[in-house]
Amino acid sequence: MDDHLKQLLLLGREHYEKGEHDKAEYLLRQLVTKSSSFADVYDMLGVIAHSRGDFIEAEKLFRRAVEINPNYTEAQLNLMVTCNELGKYDVARKIYSQVRHKSATAPGRTDPFARGKIANMHAATSQAYLDAGMLPDSIRELEKAVQLCPTFADLRTKLAQLYRDAGDESRAIAQLEAAKETNPKYINARLLLGVLLLSNGDAARAIEEFEQVLELEPKNQRAEMYLRLATTQRGVSDAPGELTSRPPPDSSSDTSS
């Protein structure tokens, strides 16, 4: 690559990364007229076309990127998304299957970016199922996401929420413990874990979680509120005879059905 092409690529990529698509496209288009061997340039141009809603042009550009480099996972995934936008669902599924197969069978290597992107797609599909009220399907999609990226604490925490909503608190707690091990500073996992522990009567362990949250974020109002509740609950459960000394409720005054 001569110095002029290097400069075009450097400036084009710089504008692209800044989101300055018009400037980036002007430079990258010059580059492909002089050399057609840059898969990443076609991929960037495809992203720019896609952002404008020109999915037909984006598909052409992503396909060209994949032709140049059949192992260019990001371009393959971008092509899959674009085919979905064009209603070419069978083509998109085929590309997805190919990407998954390559990721699973590639000897001695994995593609963390590809796994992360696919995991996020599963998470998006999970949310779509959840929005439609299809909780079991939502759970299955998020389980696939966690299987792909077990170190993503946010995905595990979301899966724990779904398990909780499905009434499976033991699995929810297991996911939150795993999320905490992956990222001890992920506050959402600790908060939800504390709440579930408290609801299961384990006030002592719940207090530990809320105190950890406050160490990480001293002014977290939810943690402060839950900590007060957990401390009160532990005091009640520790008080001798406190629970047994209460009279039984008057069932005749219970209006619930």
Residue 251 scores a pLDDT above 80: no
pTM, two decimals, is 0.54
User: CATH classification of 151-235, choosing from 3.50.50.60, 3.40.190.80, 1.25.40.10, 2.102.10.10?
Assistant: 1.25.40.10
Fold agreement between 1-103 and 151-235: yes
Domain ranges within the chain, ordered by starting residue = 1-103, 112-149, 151-235
- The tens digit of pLDDT for each residue in 161-213 reads 999 999 999 999 999 999 999 999 999 999 999 999 988 889 999 999 999 99
Q: What is the DSSP string of the chain?
A: --HHHHHHHHHHHHHHHTT-HHHHHHHHHHHHHH-S--HHHHHHHHHHHHHTT-HHHHHHHHHHHHHH-TT-HHHHHHHHHHHHHTT-HHHHHHHHHHHHHHHHH-TT---HHHHHHHHHHHHHHHHHHHHTT-HHHHHHHHHHHHHH-TT-HHHHHHHHHHHHHTT-HHHHHHHHHHHHHH-TT-HHHHHHHHHHHHHTT-HHHHHHHHHHHHHHSTT-HHHHHHHHHHHHHHHHHHSTTTTTTSPPP-GGG----
- The tens digit of pLDDT for each residue in 51-95 reads 888 999 999 999 999 898 887 777 888 888 888 888 888 888 888
CATH architecture, range 1-103: Alpha Horseshoe (1.25)
